[in-house]
Amino acid sequence: MADLTHFDPNSIGNTNFNIFGLPSTEEEARLVIMPIPWEVTVSYRGGTARAPDRIFNASFQVDLFDAEFADEWRKGIFMRDINEKILTKSDYLRKEAELYINFISQGDDINDNKFMCKTLKDINAGSLFLNDWVYQQAKGLLDNGKLVALLGGDHSTPLGFIKALADQHNEFAVLQIDAHCDLRKCYEGFDYSHASIMYNVLEQVPQVKKLVQVGPRDYCQEEAEYINASNNRVKCFFDREIKEALYEGATWKTITQAIVDQLPAHVYISFDVDGLDPKLCPCTGTPVYGGLELEQVFYLFKNIIASGRKIIGFDVNETGVSNNEWDENVAARILFKLSNMLLHCNAK
């Protein structure tokens, strides 16, 4: 743990220090955040590969006092540097993916185009490389006794991290905050599309016994059928159903309790910011009207912890890059709250 004797948490964030202006080194920090600058398969607006760096810069505006989880940050939070090789690889493959998506969106068959066949093969190979790299990075940190969080990048990025957690936990749930179900199989031909993350988690990580989704409001028939055929392994609290229940007199407390009741003892949180009302993160890659207030989500998380369940890790992803840094500031505060919660749940 860093020596905080002369550190003033009430002062301006010192940009010579690490994320949130904290003086911890990686060795001293209890929690290490892995930034993953990747957006190869995004299907609408780009920019999220640059989000980790922008969120880092915005984090110096976050006040360190958390009335619910005071002083958890003192245990140490550290964010690793952006890996420029990963970012460069993302940029290159993203350009290839844009050409490919434009090609198939016109109804053309890639089997008639050798260049597009190679492009798709290269993109899938690159995504597989990224998954393995994330797994190795996360596994190294977890084996060293660190708590780990992931900061994307697009929503495909946490698969390797979830696999690393599965090496340590025989059974856990993924709680997904999202406007989308992300249960598409091989969307647009991409094996590891951002729209396929939860499909891949369920198919490749048997330790994930439950997927609880909160807020989806834009999904396809294939995904609805997958949920219905999951034998309750997937439980989705659709945005429309949540809103209708509230309109008819239900309280957010009762809805939250129903969500918590679906969760086992250990919970991983996957937070796609497009699950929120778009006024909070308008520059996210695939915005959808509707959504949750951030206070609602934090209330849900608070009740998960109050129930005795344990958060074992989390990711924050799909933050857009905005001209006024609004999206990045919101994401920085999500990251800080979740960091404090993770530290609180895993007190030594």
Which DSSP category does 182 fall into? Answer: -
In whole angstroms, give the CA distance from residue 108 to residue 235. Answer: 36
Q: Is pLDDT of 1 > 90?
A: no
Position 12 in a domain:
no
Q: What would the two tokens of residue 202 be? A: 């369920």
Backbone angles phi, psi at 324, to 5 degrees: -105, 5
Q: What would the two tokens of residue 214 be? A: 């909160």
331 in Cβ contact with 300 (< 8 Å): no
CA nearest neighbour of 310 among 204, 168, 151: 168
**Residue pLDDT, tens place only, 143-193:** 999 999 999 999 999 999 999 999 999 999 999 999 999 999 999 999 999
Residue 314: CATH number of its domain: 3.40.800.10
318 in Cβ contact with 45 (< 8 Å): no
The percentage of residues in the chain with a pLDDT greater than 90, rounded to a whole number, is 95
Q: What would the two tokens of residue 340 be? A: 């404090």
Position 231 in a domain:
yes
Q: Is pLDDT of 135 > 90?
A: yes
Placement of tokens 């809805």 in the chain? 255
In whole angstroms, give the CA distance from residue 256 to residue 229. Answer: 24
Query: What Rg value do the Cα atoms of the chain yield, rounded?
Result: 20
What count of other Cβ atoms lies within 10 Å of the Cβ of residue 232?
A: 9
In whole angstroms, give the CA distance from residue 269 to residue 212. Answer: 10
In whole angstroms, give the CA distance from residue 334 to residue 269. Answer: 12
Position 155 in a domain:
yes
Q: Is pLDDT of 348 > 80?
A: no
Q: For residue 36, what are the domain limits?
A: 19-345
The lowest-confidence range among 18-32, 97-111, 247-261 is: 97-111
Is 111 buried (19+), middle (13-18) or exposed (0-12) by CB count in 10 A?
Answer: exposed
In whole angstroms, give the CA distance from residue 140 to residue 93. Answer: 27
Average model confidence (pLDDT) for the chain?
A: 96
**Is cis: bond before 153, omega within 30 of 0?**
yes
CA nearest neighbour of 273 among 19, 41, 82, 52: 52
Position 14 in a domain:
no
SS3 state of residue 213: strand
DSSP one-letter string for 241-284:
HHHHHHHTT--HHHHHHHHHHT--SEEEEEEEGGGB-TTTSTTS
Q: What would the two tokens of residue 102 be? A: 């434009």
Which DSSP category does 236 fall into? Answer: E
In whole angstroms, give the CA distance from residue 215 to residue 237. Answer: 6
Position 276 in a domain:
yes
CA nearest neighbour of 238 among 165, 183, 302, 307: 183
Q: Is pLDDT of 257 > 80?
A: yes
Confidence of residue 5 (pLDDT cuts 50, 70, 90): confident
Q: Output the CA–CA distances (angstroms, integers) from residue 9 to 16, 32, 110, 334, in the order listed.
A: 15, 20, 56, 19
Position 3 in a domain:
no
**Residue pLDDT, tens place only, 17-42:** 999 999 999 999 999 999 999 999 99
Q: Is pLDDT of 213 > 80?
A: yes
Which DSSP category does 205 fall into? Answer: -
Q: What would the two tokens of residue 71 be? A: 């002083």
For the chain, the domain total comes to 1
Contacts of 116 (CB under 8 A, 6+ apart): 99, 100, 103, 104, 108, 110
Position 163 in a domain:
yes
Strand residues in 18-158 grouped as ranges (E): 31-36, 77-79, 147-152
- Write down the pLDDT at residue 3: 82
184: region left, alpha or beta (phi > 0 left; psi from -120 to 50 alpha): beta
The lowest-confidence range among 2-11, 267-276, 305-314 is: 2-11
pTM of the model: 0.97
Backbone angles phi, psi at 46, to 5 degrees: -95, -175
Position 93 in a domain:
yes
